[in-house]
Structure formats: C-alpha cells, structure tokens
Structure 1
Amino acid sequence: MSAENGVSQDSATVSRANVRWPGPGAVVRLERTHRRLLRRRLGVDVVERSPSGRVRVPPGRLAPAAVAALRSAVGTAHVRTDAADRLARAGGMSYLDLLHRRDDDTVDAPDAVVVPATHDEVVAVLGACEEHGIAVVPYGGGTSVVGGLGAGPDRCAITLDLSRMNALVDVDEVSQTATMQPGVTGPDAERLLGEQGLTLGHFPQSWECSTVGGWVATRSAGQLSTGVGRIDDLVVALRVATPRGTLELGRGPRSAAGPDLRELFVGSEGALGVITEVRLRVRPASTVVRYLGWSFPDFAAGLAAVRRLRQDDVAPDLLRLSDETETAVTLDLAGRPGRALRAYQRMRGHVGGCLVITGWEGTSNTTIRARRALADSVLRAEGGVPLGERVGESWLHGRYGAPYLRDALLDASLLAETLETAADWSSLAELHATVVGVLERTLSDLDTPPVVMAHVSHAYPTGASLYITVIARRLDDDPAGQWWAAKRAALEAITDLGATITHHHAVGADHRPWMTDEVGALGVEVLRAVKRTVDPAGILNPAVLIPPGE
C-alpha cells in the first residue's frame, strides 16, 4: 500500500546498516594480541562475525499534510522518508543502540529525516512539527552513547539532520572567537580554522565524526580539557531555535545581567531548543606538540600526582592516568614494546604500576619547555618515572581508535561498553574502587566475569573525571539485560557516593531515571517549567534529560 504524495506507508526490508562507528577509520579486526588477551582474561576463544542480512523498518507514520508542511519548510529533496535513509539516522552508538541494530529483526527508525540548511528553516520545521504533533530529534554526528537520539517507538518523530548547516560563519581574530553552525564536524572545524592559523583545540574521542552542535548540546569534554577547557568553557554566545521563537544568548566576555541563560541550553541535549549557531573561543594553532609517558607505582600515587599538578596550576594540556588494569591491558596489547616497558617498570619498583600520559600543545618551544619543567618536577617528586616521548606519541597516534576496536569486540559477540562520572579528589579513590567492584560483582554473578579498567582524563582543582571500560562475554539470551544490570548497579553506587551521573557523555534516555538524584525533585521541576515555556507541546527530543511527570 502506498500513501498519498508518494510517501510509503509499508514496512520495508533493507540491508542491515548503521552498525559500526561512523568515523572514517577502516574496519578493525582482532589481532593475535587481542585474541591472546581475551583468552587469558575472559577465557573466550573469539570468532568474529560481521553483522549482515536484512532488517525490517516499520512504515513511516507521517500524515500527508505533515509531509507537505515539512517539504515546504526545507524543500522536497530534503525530506527523506525511504527506509534506508531512516535506518541510517536511527539512534546513536551506545552498546544498546548497536545491539538493537545488529541483532534485531525489526529496527526502530524515525518517520522521516529532515535536513534544514538555515536557522529560518529550522524554525519552520519546528512550527510544522508542533502543528502536527511530531517529535523532533536533533542529529549531529550520531555518536551519542547514552540513548540520546530516539523519541521512543510509540512517538511519531523526525530526525532533524543538521549536516547541511556546516559553515564557519565568522572569525574575530582580535577577540579570538569563531562563529560556527552546528553541523560542522571536528575535522572540518580544525581545517576551516587552520586556514586562518587558529584552532578550537577540542578533541573528544568522537572528534572524527561528531559536530560542534552536538558538543555544545551535550557538554562535551575534549582530550585537552585539562589545559584548554571543556566545550562549555569555550562557549561565548548561542543562537537557539525553539517552537516559541529564537533566543540570542551571550554578550561580552562576562555579564552580571542575571542568571546566565546560555547554561540552560548548553547541555540541554535538544530538549529545550535546537542550537543553530555558536560562537566559541579559539586560539592560535599549535606548532609545538609534546606528549610523554610516565609510570607510577600504583593508582593512588598517580592520583596524588595528578591532583597536585592541577592544584599547583602546573598541569599539562592533556593529563591522563590509567589504573593498574588499564595499564596492564595497554602494555599487553603493545606487544614487544609493552613487555619492555613492563620490565623497565619492574626494574624501577613499579610492579603492576600505572601509566600517566602528559601532553603539551602551543606555539612556543620556550614556553612548553618551561611548563614541562614545572610539571616534571612535581611528577618526579610524587614518585613518577619518565618513560619518554615514544609512549606519549603512541597514545597520540591511537587516540581515536577505541570505538573501532569496540566494533571488532561486538563482532566477536562480546559486551564492550563504557561509562563515566566525576567526583571530588577526597572521594575519587573510593569511587574508583566501589564502581569497579560493583561492575565486577554484578557481571560475575551473571557468570560473565568482566575486565573492568578505568582512567582519569579530565582534572580540575577540586576533582576529576573517572572513565570506565567494561569487556565481558556476552550473555546471549539477554545481552541488553546483562548490561543494564551492571550499569544500574554502577549508577546506584555513583549516586550513593555523591558523584555525578555523567561528566561528558550527557544524560540521554539512559541516565534520565537518575536525574532526580542528580539535581533533586525541585531541580527537575525547574527544568520542566523551562521546557513548558519554550516547548509547550513537548516535541523537542522528548525521551531525554528530563524525567517524565507523574
């Protein structure tokens, strides 16, 4: 059966797609070192199977009048309703998202993909969707790992693909700011700024395919955040489209004109408005780059060193501390160089030690040498042993590689996922031990004992983030329930200890049940009140951030 205006209302069977990390890297296969490590730590002999076959995509549910209104807003060519286009924009990159698209026979998908080119077109799309009761899910690079890109299977919804809004609008070289549209990807941002001798300096692990708008909407933290700041530290001004109209926020370097309304929309995950333009702080492009490795006898000693670097205000731009397990896995996977480093650690008394990576970027050798000297003196005083530039450069070379390796682990029918949090220095060691222990016990109780490893990668004067990776044999009869049991237990432990439910992955749908723990019942009511004001029909990304009312 066909719908009016040529919009198919039949379900379609299409090739399985959107099952791997969307970056430009090649498909990764598990190497001998990976297989040996998995056999020793998990007791599994892996067989890789790439997802294939065909899946059913349910029919679109948009009424002909709604399709006509959307086409009027952005042009017929930019309203895509065929099953393949809808599947390509179906959800994000969490383990649960990927399980659904890799394994299920029927895959949830938006009812259409709408691709505006201007702020005014976004406003028009929001008006059409409000009139017709259609949910709107803004989409940048599709890299959400917290269920941030779905309205739910029972809600008629469009994906608002912002990829055509990909321009560098303006550069103020005197003020060192740049204004960009939300669909600018990480590589394009650096290319466009680099042509003028500038850099944003924001390099999250998703940098190859995530976007400026997505970073701002989720409070992204780049790998250089210790020195450069998170994306929210770089935001100067915003333009936001809402169903009620447009907001222009941000005047001057600082303002005392009441609460900073930018903070309502930075991190709002598209639930309060669609960011259509953002002005960001930039700086001269780096011409001097130095990355080094250090060894510490244990995680506690490394934490003390990282804390002192930050509190003494001598921290490098990149500062990353791996715990004992992550260090051991890293060295195992490095092969012969890893064995040599482990032997050197033992010789220096660091049996089972921890790796620290430090990185500096700038425009002056003299300045970086001076900064390094200050930091090196702290690291040595706290028991650190330098491992040289080769270790740091090895990390730098593979900085974006983990998501591709996760694809290979999923091909091998393994559970592979991450979670993150942050806490004060006084409770960070306890948080690490507790959350790692909870994950190990929960998954072991399901007869799938895991490898759980962690690192600190964003440090502040008062505390730091904690990023945890979990790998385990997949429980084939209920893989989603297996991970939910582990993550639920971890989040309960995190909230019990007073840590945050997310440092930089955002809330999405996955963390939304814990938002009341994070901000309190009254805080949730404040968010609901703001949403009622800017989005009275509740069409904007309705499944994320704000817990539903009673």
Structure 2
Amino acid sequence: MTSELPPVPPRSVWWGWGAADADRSLSGAGLALLGRELGRPVDAVDEPPVDLPAVRLPDRLLAPSARAALTAVVGEEHVRTDAEARVEHAGGKSYRDLVRARGGDADEAPDAVVLPADADQVAQVLRVCAEHDLAVVPFGGGTSVVGGVQALRGDHAGVVTLDLRRLDGLVDLDPVSRTATFGAGVRGPEAERLLAAHDLTLGHFPQSFEQATLGGFAATRSSGQASSGYGRFDDMVLAATVVTPEGELRVGGFPGTAAGPALLDLVLGSEGRLGVITDVTVRARPRPAATRHEAWAFASFEEATAALRQLAQSRTLPDVCRASDAEETRVTLRMAGRSGAALRGLTRLRRLGDPCLVILLWDGPDSKTVDARAAAARPALTAHHGRRLPGAVARAWAAHRFGAPYLRDELLRRGVLVETLETATGWSNLVPLAAAVRTAISDAFVADGTRCVVQTHVSHVYETGASLYLTVIGEAGDDPLGRWGRAKEAASRAIVEHGGTITHHHAVGVDHRAYLPDEVGELGIRLLRAAAGAVDPQAVMNPGKLFS
C-alpha cells in the first residue's frame, strides 16, 4: 500500500474488466491445472466476445419530447443513444452480465445514457424522468455483481441510465479534521491520487477498486480488503448529498449526534432506490510510510480462523488479514508461477501437507511501529500452531491482488464458469456455515452432471465474527446461466438456513432481493418501501433492486 500510485486505469470494456489490451493471460501451468480439475483441456476452447455491431439491442427509443427535455438539461452530447453507450450500460460485471455481453445479448440496455455535470443537473434530470415516466438507474463504475445496474424499466414507459462520471473531483478538504468531500463519480484510484497529494488515504481497496466509484461504494456499503484496519466504507462516510425526485437531502456531517435515527445509515446501502448520491464526505487517514507483510500456514481452516478471532478479540488485528481454506491454498500453490523468495515460501508451504495460507499486512508511519504491531500479534498466531513463512509470499499476493477480474475474462473465453459469492456470520458459526454453503454448491453441480472447485477465504474480520468469500470454478456447459443460477440459489438457501447474511459487501441488487425479507422481516421491507415512497412517489428510482 505504500508504493507509488499507478496511473488511473482506463474504464472497463463492455465485455470484460479493464482496458481491451490489458493482460488477461493465464500461465500454461494454470490452464493445465484447470483442465485436470474440470476433466477437459481448457486451452482447447477459444470463445472470444462478439464484435460490438453483432450485439443485439432492444429496439426502444426515447419519445422525442423526453429526449428534448433531457437535452435541454445536459446538452446534446450528454444524452447518448448510440449502440456503444447503451451496450456499455446494459449490465454490471457479474458472471451473468459478462456471459450475456460476450454472447451479444444486451436486451437489458437502457433507452438512453444521460451524463449530468452536477447535482443541479441530476435534480433536473430526475424531474424530467418523473414527468415522462422514465425509470432511472444510477451508474458509477458499473462493477455491480448482483444486478444492481441492470436497466430495468418496471412499469414505466422507458428507462435511462444516469452515468455519474462527470461528478468527479475533490470538492473540499479539511486537513485539520481529516475529512474530504468527493463527487460521487470519482473512482477509487483517482480518490487515492487526490488524497496522496495531501499525504492522506482512504484505505479502501476492494477488488473493484480500479473501476468502482465512491458513490457506488456508499450506495452498496462496500468493504475493502483493509477493512480490519481502516474500516468498511460505511464506517468512513460522515455525510452525503442525495438528490431525490422530491428534492435534495443532505445527511450526516457531524462526528457524533443524538438527533434522532441516523438518516445517513438509511442512505448507505440504498442502491439508488432513495435517490442519487451526488457527493460523499469521508474521513481520511495519514498515508502509511511503511507496510509489513507476513504469511503464515495453519494445519486447518478451523485453526486459521481461530487465530484471526483471537487477534480481533484482543484488538491486535493487522490492517489486512486473509485466511484461505485448504482448497484455495491448494489452487494458489499449484497455479503459482512466481520465482525467487515467494516461490521458495510457497514450496515450504506445500511440504506441510494440506495447509491453509494466511496473509497479514500492517500499515504505519514507520517500520518500528509496524514491526511492533506484528510482534504483538504473533502470540495468537503461534497459539493456534501457525508457522511463519517468508514475507515475500504476502508481498507477492499484494502485488497481484487486483488481477482476478482480468483472469476471469480469460476463463470465460475458455468456457469456464467462474463466479463469487459472500456472506458473514458469528465466529461460532463460521466454519459450519462455510461447510454448508460449499456442500450446497458442489451438490448443485453434481446434480447438473458435472463438478466444480469451491474455494473459500475470510478477508473481513470483526470482534464478533467474519466474512466468508467463496469462488466457484466449474464447467460452463451448454446452459451456463442456468447452471450458475441453480448453484447460486442453492448457496443462497444454505446461507439463509444456516445463519449467514445474504450479502456482506456485494449488496442486494436483483440477485439477493428475494432473500432480504428473511434478513430484515416483512415489517423491515415495509419501512424501506415507505422511505422510498416519501422521496420517490412515482417509483422511478432503480426499480426492481433491493426490494420489491
């Protein structure tokens, strides 16, 4: 985290992650491993995405009066109805979204993409959409993996996607209070570059970091890999401006208050149903000058997670902690193509039999501070029979931590199904829940006549429990979306039945909507509907997401 900041990456192509010419290659050893796991040669399949002109778009256009009204607000060049803009906003980056996009299916594309310049234009656009019965889908980086940016029109006459990329920049900075206000359309890397000029950081680095926006982080209650040290994004947000069809709402702004229920908490995680987040005020922290990397091996997932629990409950957590189960560790070892100290460390890990790998990172103002923090954590690690590995193993992980979405594009090209899901629960239920969800997924693939690899890790740790993040790799087959749909349904049922949250940080969107009543109850859903009705009486805001 202390290295020089790289340039802000280009926005993602419509069919995958990142720039079109980004490195998506998988090593020969990696391809061979996947072939053995799936029972067929992966490198024998080559299914590139269709060309843009071959993408099927719905033949739907805005009424001339609606287009004219929108153009009057933002200008002709910022009301886009061309094929490229509509295809780029047809979905997010879930497996379902990418399979459909690569195959040329953009049936859920919006009728138009509107790019407002500021909160005032957002307000005017919402008024136009309400007057012309147009659904509105707020769109930041487009990284949703739960259907959060699908252009669903519901019962409305049309649907527009509101792309917030022009709401960028650092609006205000208070270096004394260490707070910063950003436009909602600022992406993670740009926010870090703007703060680095003042020797500050957010410390928020989710897998979507390169593409996702701060407004999106707030709207989905994002959690980054350094959440153990820096907190979740909802812990970082102090205030936000939300533009609704009924007017502008400014919530939060104080370090603490007892002025009634926290409306800011209602906005965080609202996924566009209550309006458009146009700016967020966040707390910043000093940019670390030193980071210590450590890797540890444990004989079982139970011992690895018990060690993390002790760190959390003794308040000696590192800023980043990740514990992989034996399956994820095994795949990591077999696909490791690195050399030098990292490879020697992985080789040592392999000799331990069937171990679990734990990655730990500590940030601080100097090496003495981070070394002391790491030393304070070691008794808990050794108490659960952890074995220390070379720090190069952790440094290699950190250097490649944003590479998975690029590799997924290559796997899709090879006809491989790859998707993720996540949950969280209390410590006493963590290992049983992980086993139940893994079994549900594996059984669903077996019922489909095939097999899969299910990898699990813990990457967000709390005093009372932790998250579980599962990566599923399998044979796509002739019905990839149906196959994944059945596995995801089985996993979601297992999560609900075995005491997990339906989502820890991916949000609800469309995919988890049916399970939200299990978590908040029917009365909770009624409260959400009532809040939405107060600010959006015509229900034009992001219909079909979060709740019915």
Paired with 1:314 and 1:197, the residues of 2 have a C-alpha distance of: 25
Pairwise CA distance, 1:364: 2.5
Instruction: Tell me the residue number matched to 1:50.
Output: 48
Instruction: Tell me the residue number matched to 2:239.
Output: 237
Task: Give secondary structure in 2 for the equivalent of 1:536.
Answer: coil
Instruction: Tell me the residue number matched to 2:5.
Output: none
Decide whether the 8 Å contact of 1:23 with 1:209 is kept in 2.
no
Instruction: Tell me the residue number matched to 1:93.
Output: 93
Instruction: Tell me the residue number matched to 2:31.
Output: 35
Paired with 2:103 and 2:476, the residues of 1 have a C-alpha distance of: 13
Paired with 1:263 and 1:22, the residues of 2 have a C-alpha distance of: 32
Instruction: Tell me the residue number matched to 2:348.
Output: 344
Decide whether the 8 Å contact of 1:23 with 1:208 is kept in 2.
no
Paired with 2:462 and 2:20, the residues of 1 have a C-alpha distance of: 32
Instruction: Tell me the residue number matched to 1:227.
Output: 229
Instruction: Tell me the residue number matched to 1:373.
Output: 375
Paired with 2:21 and 2:379, the residues of 1 have a C-alpha distance of: 38
Task: Give secondary structure in 2 for the equivalent of 1:56.
Answer: coil
Paired with 2:30 and 2:238, the residues of 1 have a C-alpha distance of: 44
Change in 2 beyond 3 A, CA 1:314/1:369 = same
Paired with 2:364 and 2:272, the residues of 1 have a C-alpha distance of: 34
Instruction: Tell me the residue number matched to 1:170.
Output: 172
Decide whether the 8 Å contact of 1:151 with 1:543 is kept in 2.
no
Instruction: Tell me the residue number matched to 1:8.
Output: none
Instruction: Tell me the residue number matched to 1:311.
Output: 313
Instruction: Tell me the residue number matched to 2:542.
Output: 541
Instruction: Tell me the residue number matched to 1:487.
Output: 488
Paired with 1:88 and 1:105, the residues of 2 have a C-alpha distance of: 12
Decide whether the 8 Å contact of 1:237 with 1:248 is kept in 2.
yes
Decide whether the 8 Å contact of 1:435 with 1:490 is kept in 2.
yes
CA deviation digits over 1:68-98, x for unaligned, max 9?
1111111121111112211111110001111
Pairwise CA distance, 1:546: 0.9
Paired with 2:172 and 2:210, the residues of 1 have a C-alpha distance of: 22
Instruction: Tell me the residue number matched to 2:70.
Output: 70
Decide whether the 8 Å contact of 2:153 with 2:543 is kept in 1.
no
Change in 2 beyond 3 A, CA 1:330/1:194 = same
Paired with 1:382 and 1:58, the residues of 2 have a C-alpha distance of: 57
Task: Give secondary structure in 2 for the equivalent of 1:57.
Answer: coil
Q: Which amino acid aligns with 2:35?
A: R
Paired with 2:106 and 2:77, the residues of 1 have a C-alpha distance of: 27
Instruction: Tell me the residue number matched to 1:522.
Output: 523
Task: Give secondary structure in 2 for the equivalent of 1:254.
Answer: coil
Q: Which amino acid aligns with 2:139?
A: Y
CA deviation digits over 1:418-444, x for unaligned, max 9?
000000001001000000011011111
Paired with 1:545 and 1:61, the residues of 2 have a C-alpha distance of: 27
Task: Give secondary structure in 1 for the equivalent of 2:55.
Answer: strand
Pairwise CA distance, 1:39: 1.9
Change in 2 beyond 3 A, CA 1:464/1:290 = same
Decide whether the 8 Å contact of 1:177 with 1:279 is kept in 2.
yes
Paired with 1:342 and 1:196, the residues of 2 have a C-alpha distance of: 38
Change in 2 beyond 3 A, CA 1:389/1:70 = same
Pairwise CA distance, 1:264: 0.8
Instruction: Tell me the residue number matched to 1:184.
Output: 186
Pairwise CA distance, 1:61: 2.7
Change in 2 beyond 3 A, CA 1:238/1:153 = closer
Paired with 2:413 and 2:483, the residues of 1 have a C-alpha distance of: 17
Paired with 1:509 and 1:150, the residues of 2 have a C-alpha distance of: 8
Q: Which amino acid aligns with 1:378?
A: A
Instruction: Tell me the residue number matched to 1:353.
Output: 355
Paired with 2:48 and 2:296, the residues of 1 have a C-alpha distance of: 38
Decide whether the 8 Å contact of 1:100 with 1:107 is kept in 2.
no
Decide whether the 8 Å contact of 1:331 with 1:341 is kept in 2.
no
Decide whether the 8 Å contact of 2:49 with 2:104 is kept in 1.
no
Instruction: Tell me the residue number matched to 1:393.
Output: 395
Task: Give secondary structure in 2 for the equivalent of 1:101.
Answer: helix
Change in 2 beyond 3 A, CA 1:67/1:543 = same
CA deviation digits over 1:169-198, x for unaligned, max 9?
011011011000001111100110101111
Among 411, 414, 420, the residue aligned to 1:412: 414
CA deviation digits over 1:107-166, x for unaligned, max 9?
431000000111000000000001111011011111000011113266521110000111
Task: Give secondary structure in 1 for the equivalent of 2:424.
Answer: strand
Pairwise CA distance, 1:366: 2.2
Paired with 1:37 and 1:86, the residues of 2 have a C-alpha distance of: 38
Decide whether the 8 Å contact of 1:456 with 1:466 is kept in 2.
yes
Instruction: Tell me the residue number matched to 2:258.
Output: 256
Instruction: Tell me the residue number matched to 1:531.
Output: 532
Give the TM-score normalised by structure 2: 0.94
Paired with 1:267 and 1:325, the residues of 2 have a C-alpha distance of: 32
Instruction: Tell me the residue number matched to 2:297.
Output: 295
- RMSD of aligned alpha carbons: 1.5
Q: Which amino acid aligns with 2:39?
A: G
Task: Give secondary structure in 1 for the equivalent of 2:509.
Answer: coil
CA deviation digits over 1:252-297, x for unaligned, max 9?
2011011000011101011111101110000111111122211001
Equivalent residues in 2 for 1:110-189, closer than 5 Å: 110-152=110-152, 156-189=158-191
Decide whether the 8 Å contact of 1:48 with 1:408 is kept in 2.
no
Paired with 1:222 and 1:158, the residues of 2 have a C-alpha distance of: 30
Pairwise CA distance, 1:25: 7.4
Task: Give secondary structure in 1 for the equivalent of 2:137.
Answer: strand
Pairwise CA distance, 1:38: 1.0
Instruction: Tell me the residue number matched to 1:212.
Output: 214
Unaligned runs of 5+ in 2: 1-12
Q: Which amino acid aligns with 2:25?
A: R
Decide whether the 8 Å contact of 2:136 with 2:540 is kept in 1.
yes
Instruction: Tell me the residue number matched to 2:456.
Output: 454
Instruction: Tell me the residue number matched to 2:60.
Output: 60
Give the TM-score normalised by structure 1: 0.94
Q: Which amino acid aligns with 1:300?
A: E
Decide whether the 8 Å contact of 2:147 with 2:509 is kept in 1.
yes
Q: Which amino acid aligns with 1:534?
A: V
Instruction: Tell me the residue number matched to 2:10.
Output: none
Paired with 1:491 and 1:97, the residues of 2 have a C-alpha distance of: 19
CA deviation digits over 1:445-487, x for unaligned, max 9?
10120000010000000000000000001121x2111111000
Task: Give secondary structure in 2 for the equivalent of 1:344.
Answer: helix
Change in 2 beyond 3 A, CA 1:357/1:25 = farther
Change in 2 beyond 3 A, CA 1:180/1:381 = same
Pairwise CA distance, 1:100: 1.2
Does structure 1 residue 430 correspond to structure 2 residue 426? no
Instruction: Tell me the residue number matched to 1:10.
Output: none
329-338 vs 431-440, which moves further: 329-338
Decide whether the 8 Å contact of 1:55 with 1:107 is kept in 2.
no
Paired with 2:230 and 2:217, the residues of 1 have a C-alpha distance of: 15
Decide whether the 8 Å contact of 1:451 with 1:471 is kept in 2.
yes
Paired with 2:56 and 2:442, the residues of 1 have a C-alpha distance of: 36
Decide whether the 8 Å contact of 2:228 with 2:321 is kept in 1.
yes
